[in-house]
Amino acid sequence: MLRGWDKYKGEKDISACGLIAFINQDGERCSGEKITQAMTFMRERGNGLGAGYAAYGIYPEYKDYYALHLMFDTIEAKKHTEEFLYNNFQIVNSGEIQTKGIQGIKNSPIHWRYFVEPFQEVVENKTEEDFVVEKVMEINKKIDGAFVTSSGKNMGCFKGVGYPEDIAEFFMLDKYQGHTWMAHSRFPTNSPGWWGGAHPFNLLDWSIVHNGEISSYGTNKRYLEMFGYECSLMTDTEVVAYLIDLLVRRHKLPFEIACSILAPPFWKRIDVMDERARELYQTLRVVYASALLNGPFAFVIGHKNGIIGLSDRVKLRPLVAAVDNNTTYISSEEAAIIGICPNPERIWHPKAGEPVIAEIKVPVG
C-alpha cells in the first residue's frame, strides 16, 4: 500500500543512498536507458526500499500545462482527488501512467497523470504557481490515500519501493525522452520506505535527490510552515524542495546565494572575508538562519533549466561532477559517471559547500 511500512517498521539501516543526474546543455534528449544503466553501478547503495527518477523535457506536446503525477491507494482516493481537481483546474488530458508488471515490484498504488491549468477565477490574488503549490499541499495532507508525485511542467517523477532498475522497468522509462535526468537509490534510515517516500521529492519544477540526513529538519519545517508549506511526507528531504522554492522562486534569489543559505560558510571563515563579502554572508546567516541545513548531506536539485549539486559544509557525503560534450554529470560515485561516460573531458570533486551549477543554453520559460 502507499503508506505501508509494516515489514520494516522500526528498523534502522546504515546510510548509503546513491544519486546521479545529468543534463545535456544543448537541450538534446535521450531515453531513460542511460541513467538506468548508471544506477546499476551503485546498486549496493540501496536496499530495495526506494528508488526513483525525475525527467525534464518529456512532455513537449503539453509543455504549457502542469503535469500532475499522482499515486492512489484506492479508487475512492482517486475519486475524491479528481473531484478536487475538477473544482480547481481545467484538465486538458488525463490517463493512467503506463506500467509494466515485474517480479521485483509489489503492492503498487494506482498511478495516474493529469495535464492541468488552473481556473483563473479561483486563483484570485495568488500567482498561478502559488495556487498550484497550495493545492498540491491540500491533496497530500487532506485526501487520505492520495499523494502528488510531481507537479511541474514538461517533467515528471517516477518512483516507488524497489531497486532503481526495477522502478525503471516498471515505469518503462526507456519510452521517455528527456534533456535532464535524475535518479536515486534509497537506503532508508530515519524515515519509512514507502512509495511516496522514495526520492525524488518534487514541487512545481523543483526535484530533489538526496544522500544523507537533514538533522535541522524540525527547525526547517517550522520555518517553512510560516510561509504556508506543509511537510507531510514523513522524510527530512522534503524540506529541501520547499526551501529552494521559497528562496529562488518566491524570494527571487540567485542559485549561488540560495546555496550559500542552505550550506553557508562557517562563522570563522566569514570573519576573515573582505568587508563586502563579510557583510553579505553575515546578513544571509542572520536573515535566513532557519533555512540553514545541518547534518551530512549531498543532493542534486533539478529544475526546468538545469541541475545543481551541493554537499554539506564538511562534505560528509560524497559528490563528484564531470563534463563531456555539453553534458554535465553529478553523482555520488565516479563509477556511475564513468559507466555511461568512459572518458569525460573533465572530472572533479567539488569542495564542501561548493555548488555545481549547470543549465541548458536556451532557458525554458
Q: Of the residues 17, 157, 259, 341, which is catalytic? A: 17
Tell the residue number behind the cell numbers 532508508, with chain if given.
188
Q: Do 73 and 1 meet the contact criterion of CB atoms below 8 Å apart?
A: yes
Sign of the Cα torsion 17, 332, 33, 70 reads positive
Q: Do 180 and 23 meet the contact criterion of CB atoms below 8 Å apart?
A: yes
How far apart CA 311 and CA 257 sit, in angstroms, is: 15
Q: Do 313 and 262 meet the contact criterion of CB atoms below 8 Å apart?
A: no
Q: Do 113 and 96 meet the contact criterion of CB atoms below 8 Å apart?
A: yes
Inter-CA distances, 150 with 72, 107, 119, Å: 13, 20, 20
How far apart CA 210 and CA 108 sit, in angstroms, is: 23
Q: Do 127 and 186 meet the contact criterion of CB atoms below 8 Å apart?
A: no
SS3 (DSSP) at 284: helix
How far apart CA 109 and CA 75 sit, in angstroms, is: 10
Which H helix or E strand runs over 167? helix 164-170
Residue 289 φ then ψ, to 5°: -55, -40
Residue 24 φ then ψ, to 5°: -90, 115
How far apart CA 224 and CA 243 sit, in angstroms, is: 7
How far apart CA 330 and CA 310 sit, in angstroms, is: 10
Is residue 259 annotated as part of the catalytic site, yes or no?
no
DSSP annotation string for 194-250: -GGGSSPEEETTEEEEEEE--TTHHHHHHHHHTTT----SSSTTHHHHHHHIIIIII
Kindly list the catalytic residues. 17
